[in-house]
Chain A
Amino acid sequence: DGGITQSPKYLFRKEGQNVTLSCEQNLNHDAMYWYRQDPGQGLRLIYYSQIVNDFQKGDIAEGYSVSREKKESFPLTVTSAQKNPTAFYLCASTEGSGNNQPQHFGDGTRLSIL
């Protein structure tokens, strides 16, 4: 079955610690995205990538980093510089470069501060 797999489902971060959220897709999609969702709020774009070895900052990139070394993988690192990381993190992908195509989401990772 094709889809987007995010892991882990739940993650806890200690003060000063970097953590990495995994996102893997087997849909052969070119474009991948990371969003943050806070309780009762909409989705805010963190980073996106339309092609391997290239990515762009979204609206709230500060305190986060990404890499796109393989087409199927787009991990997100939440660094210690992100002072309020508690949120629901969603990875998405689209066919082609994303023009006019809907995004499909993984099941999400819920990150909390210890």
Chain B
Amino acid sequence: QKEVEQNSGPLSVPEGAIASLNCTYSDRGSQSFFWYRQYSGKSPELIMSIYSNGDKEDGRFTAQLNKASQYVSLLIRDSQPSDSATYLCAVIGYSSASKIIFGSGTRLSIRP
């Protein structure tokens, strides 16, 4: 089992709709969770951090964390073509000595 798992996609969502990206992790003691956006050929850019169970909203982005079920998700409301990118889930696990473990990413495509 991978430490951080994401569906590779591509996930195709119509413009203006809600895009939902999911991530599961194996280390039950994990405390810190991040979402990065990576455009093709570019480096990852941090878009959300979440540390507590529940929802955290920032503009059109909402991160959701459920530690009991070991998943974290990212919702993008009013999806725009500029949201088309690969989204990486990253987790700092209790057993990983503060190293971030990255998922392989989900490719999101927003269709006009």
Contact = CB atoms under 8 A, between A and B. Distances in A.
A100 B31 contact: yes
Nearest to A44: B102
- Say which size band chain A's interface belongs to: 20 to 34
A102 interface: yes
B102 A48 contact: no
B100 A100 contact: no
Interface in B50-76: 51
Given A42-B104, A48-B99, A97-B98, A102 B46 contact: yes
- Say which size band chain B's interface belongs to: 20 to 34
A98 B99 contact: yes
A41 B104 contact: yes
Contacts of A103: 46, 90, 100
Contacts, number: 46
Nearest to B103: A42
A8 B88 CA distance: 25
Given A42-B105, A43-B88, A100-B31, A106 B99 contact: no
Contact of B102 (A42, A101, A107): A42
Contact of A90 (B43, B46, B51, B99): B43
Interface string B73-112: 0000000000000001010100000111011110000000
B14 to A, nearest CB: 24
A106 to B, nearest CB: 6
B42 A102 contact: no
A105 B103 CA distance: 16
A104 interface: yes
Contacts of B88: 42-43
6 contacts: A43-B102, A45-B99, A100-B32, A102-B34, A102-B49, A103-B100
